Amino acid sequence: MKSKNEIEIRKYIGILLAPILSVIVYILPLDLNPDAHIVLSIMVFCLIFWLTEVTPLSITALLGVTLAVVFGIVDVKNAFLSLGNPVLILFIGSFLIAQAMTRHGLDRRFALLLLTRDTFLKSPLRLIVGFSLISFLLSMWISNTATTAMLLPLILGIVETFKKNNIKGVKTFAVYLLLAVAYSASIGGTTTLIGTPTNLIGAGFLKEEGYEIDFLQWIIIVAPISVTMFFILMLYIKFKIRKFRFDKKQVKTIFLKEKRHLPKLSVGEINTLVVFVTAATLWVLPGIANLVGNEVAYRFLKTHLPESIVALICGILLFLLPIDIKKYRGTLDIEDLKKLDWDTILLFGGGIALGKLIINTGLAQYIGKKISSVVSPEFLVGFLFVLIISMIFMTEISSNTATTVTFVPIIIGILKQMNIDIFYPIIAVVVSASFAFMLPIATPPNAIIYGSNLIKITKMAKTGFVLNIIGSIVILTYIIIYMR
């Protein structure tokens, strides 16, 4: 984790570097139209601000759009149309459902119900699989940050018990248990549209280009990638902890003790479960109708109950369904609304607006031409691998949402110039933005487990590097299969 001094120094560097580099880019004699040249300068400015985190990510995105208005690239009415994008509504609704699950402890109840099953207590590997499976499944629906933070106390309790009983190899076991949970959260988040913000950002860019992708279709495409990566991760962990042994009864005692502390199933949990099941059902129904060839039902659902409206209806229901009829307290209240990740929500709106400017001014096309002139379509596999691996390693040092917002429009321009259908490659790039496993700053789950002080950064970097390479190969393999 970075110290306060390091953060302050980085911000000062950003404040100095951003305007200097953006001016240098603007005065360079590039073969660009004036609007595209200004947008390129703005993007360089925003990229430096994102990397150095001078301001919150969303504020930087909105600053970029504001500068575009000031310099006459776009009028104010059209500049901020993206803040009304349906995907932004989907963000808000899904975040509300996730907040309800966390607030009322439904996620913790699910975790303990699974971990107290004997199946996951028979061996160290099975215990890791149990924790990782919970992390994987929960991150499909709620924040991977919340999932990792919720599981961390349970992990630390087990590790402490092992240490008290002088069990050999506990340090190694603790490291790989923590890594497995963090990596599973990141991998699991790619599986559904709402699993991680980058998925929705990618879907938003695809929609702008005329590609509709429904909830079920995303799962069908990405689940094979995430499940394969999850199995590879478990095999890797199995090899690393092969010598470790523990007493099954000790571990079960810890979980049963935690389970006994759980209160009875509350009205809030029941309300949340009902709303969650309703949302999940309505999200996948259009895809099912499409799969069985019922065009009428598919069009009706997509028109009257699109994913964003379903999310919003269910989010509103959580404020209406009471947990206390006498005082009429809703399942969620105004305090929960304040806790939403508004930074990500606004980043999406500002980011899509910047992406439109990159495409509409011809900047994406210009960059696409330059790159396509030196890259042959015959080397498609190699080119896609470079895109995927580059995205993975870029997100090691910067926010995956900011990186996706910045580079996806440019990649769209490159692919178009090379006459490559953008649909599957963009999904590959978006998924790869969640496959950064090396550094604590790469993802919130990485940062959380690193904060436990049980993992050395060298260990995380070595393990993460191997999995970065494996992950890029897994993504590439499936995308090539899909494209062919």
Per-residue pLDDT of 382-404, as tens digits, reads 889 989 998 998 888 777 887 88
Please list, in sequence order, all residues whose beta carbon lies within 8 angstroms of the beta carbon of residue 293, skipping any fewer than 6 positions away.
none
> Alpha-carbon distance 334 to 330, whole Å?
10
Res. 7 pLDDT band, cuts 50 70 90: confident
Per-residue pLDDT reduced to its tens digit, 359-379: 889 888 888 788 777 776 678
Phi and psi based region of residue 466 (left: phi greater than 0; alpha: psi -120 to 50; beta: remaining): alpha
Q: How confident is the model at residue 191 (pLDDT cuts 50, 70, 90)?
A: very high
Q: Which residue has the tokens 């985190």?
A: 53
Instruction: Give the pLDDT of residue 422.
Output: 93
Record the tokens describing residue 469, joined without a space.
């390479």
In DSSP notation, 63-88 reads HHHHHHHHTTSS-HHHHTGGGG-HHH
For the record, the structure tokens of 34 come out as 């004036």
Q: Determine how many CB atoms are found less than 10 A away from the CB of residue 385.
A: 18
CA angle 386, 391, 396 (to 5 degrees): 130
Rounded Cα gap, residues 156 and 160, in angstroms: 6
Q: Please count the residues of the chain.
A: 484
Q: Is the pLDDT of residue 3 over 80?
A: no
pLDDT given at position 348:
77
Beta bridge mates, 329: 324
Average the pLDDT over 193-211 and give the result: 89
Task: Please tell me the predicted confidence (pLDDT) of residue 170.
Answer: 81
**d(Cα 446, Cα 437) in Å, to the nearest integer?**
7
More confidently predicted of 121 and 285: 285
Helices (H), 373-443: 380-394, 400-417, 423-432
In angstroms, rounded to a whole number, what is the distance separating the alpha carbons of residues 228 and 425?
18
- For residue 424, the model assigns a pLDDT of 95
Torsion angle of the four alpha carbons 187, 192, 195, 196, in this order, in degrees rounded to the nearest 10: 80
Mean pLDDT (whole number) for 245-271: 81
Q: What is the pLDDT of residues 326-337, one digit of tens each?
A: 778 899 999 999
Q: Mind listing the pLDDT tens digit for each residue in 307-364? A: 889 989 999 999 999 987 777 889 999 999 998 888 878 887 888 888 888 888 988 8
Give the Cα separation of 464 and 361 in Å (integer): 38
Q: Assess whether pLDDT exceeds 80 at residue 243.
A: no
Q: With pLDDT > 90 as the criterion, what percentage of the chain qualifies?
A: 38
Question: Once rounded to an integer, what is the mean pLDDT over residues 256-269?
Answer: 86
| pTM beyond cutoff 0.75 | yes
Question: What does the pLDDT read at residue 352?
Answer: 82
CA-wise closest residue to 347 among 200, 207, 145, 191: 200
pLDDT mean over 22-51: 92
pLDDT band at 269 (very low <50, low <70, confident <90, very high): very high
- Residue 232 binned pLDDT confidence (cut-offs 50, 70, 90): very high
Spatial separation of the C-alpha atoms in residues 324 and 421, rounded to whole Å: 53
pLDDT, position 377: 66
Q: In this model, does residue 75 exceed pLDDT 70?
A: yes
pLDDT, averaged across the chain: 87
Q: What is the pLDDT of residue 2?
A: 55
Task: List the chain domain ranges.
Answer: 1-78, 86-338
Residue in 438, 7, 435, 445 with CA at minimum distance from that of residue 228: 435
CA atoms of 448 and 423, how far apart (whole Å): 33
Q: How much is the CA Rg of the chain, to the nearest whole Å? A: 23
Q: Which residue would you say has higher pLDDT here, 143 or 435?
A: 435
* CA–CA dist 307, 476 (Å, integer): 28
User: Phi and psi at residue 122, in whole multiples of 5°?
Assistant: -80, -20
H/E run at residue 59: helix 57-70
Residue in 63, 86, 160, 73 with CA at minimum distance from that of residue 345:
86
CA distance 179 to 159: 14
Q: How far apart are CA 211 and CA 197, in angstroms?
A: 18
